[in-house]
Structure 1
Amino acid sequence: MASNNEDVKLFGIVESPFVSRVEIALKLKGVEYKYEVEKRGNLSDAVIQYNPVYKKIPVFVHNEKPISESLVILEYIDETWKQNPILPSDPYKKAQTRFWSKFIDESVDALRKVISTIDEKVREKGIEEIEEAFQILENELKDKFFGGDEIGIVDISAVIIAYWLPIIQEAFGFKLFTSHKFPKLYNWSQDFNNHSLVKETLPPRETLLAFYKGVYESVNASK
């Protein structure tokens, strides 16, 4: 656990999978932290001050030292609190986890395009790109988790696939991530979502579904 003389804060919003990444890592490590809730579209002066380059969440602050970008934050957490490691110690394996975490972020970029466009051709092309990426991940998944028998940084990075994507596709009415198309990846998502520490950290499903239905209505209103 974080000792009493450590000041750990996380600035974020409920709807963000990138914030959720950091929360899951902190839970797995048993680190106590204060969650500072931000308002979407109206970030606090503290966030702007702590992250003047990108001006976005998540922002992680440890003893008044700010860190931004979720994957960078995850590595910092792992190096600072040694218990329950989420990155392997072997340099090659560590490099591989960084590669796959970045690969997942690139897939997220494609998903962002899919849910922000009204152009059906652009959406279809984006879905094709995501399906190709998911097939690669399906082939890469060898154990219960990407981290082996225990959750690691790649699993945490993929929380958007495991938890957010099924909700997003329900809100938008497309079928991209199913047990039929990606059986190993789908089973992994169930194991990940039902992990006791992950489960207690994830935001309420109803909250996210309402949010993404609002996004869907907003996108379609611009037709």
Structure 2
Amino acid sequence: MLHTGGESGTATAAHFHADLVERSYSRLSGVSSGHGEARRMKGTVEVDYRGMNGARQYGWYVPLPEPGERVLSRPLIVNDMVIFTSLLPASDAPCDMAVASWVNVLSLVDGLTPRRRNGDDDSAGPVLDYNQDGVLDASDQVDSQAVVAVKVGGETGSLRLEGDRLEVDVSGANGSAQVLDWRIQLDATGSTGRVGWYQLR
């Protein structure tokens, strides 16, 4: 969940789900063999931070759809994106090792698919090199949709960015370890602009 926090000139304001915009994942069916299950983000309506079309909205949140799915590590903030992993434990026991994980890449400001150029279309380009061929192009989309989350087997560790490559350590139940990486499209279409500010005295 993301929100803007306290408002300028007021005591710390508490904001709840009703003040935020709910986002929703949708699983993509036509996934590439050997490249993991994939998700897209539904919707295109941005968060109305200024309340121009009704009540002011203070951010967004996304329910994690799989049973027991949880976020246990800090997200990585890169340009206009928030990148995080979510784990799927083998059971409801909180200390069980994850049997699978999702690597998620969303718009920091709106929780939507980060805007990337795809030919003449400024909003439908691939964000993540889903098929891991080193090229960001239409073949990284599934069902003509940009992939924002990829499922991997095992438990993921911390994320890191090396140039334009997103890397994550993955541990298997049998003690195996590997590093997975994807090219990531860092450049957004247009400019994000100022999200918020604080006056320092």
Name the TM-score, length of structure 1 as normaliser.
Answer: 0.26
* Greater fraction strand: 2
TM-score (norm 2): 0.28
Question: RCO higher in 1 or 2 (8 Å CA, sep ≥ 6)?
Answer: 1
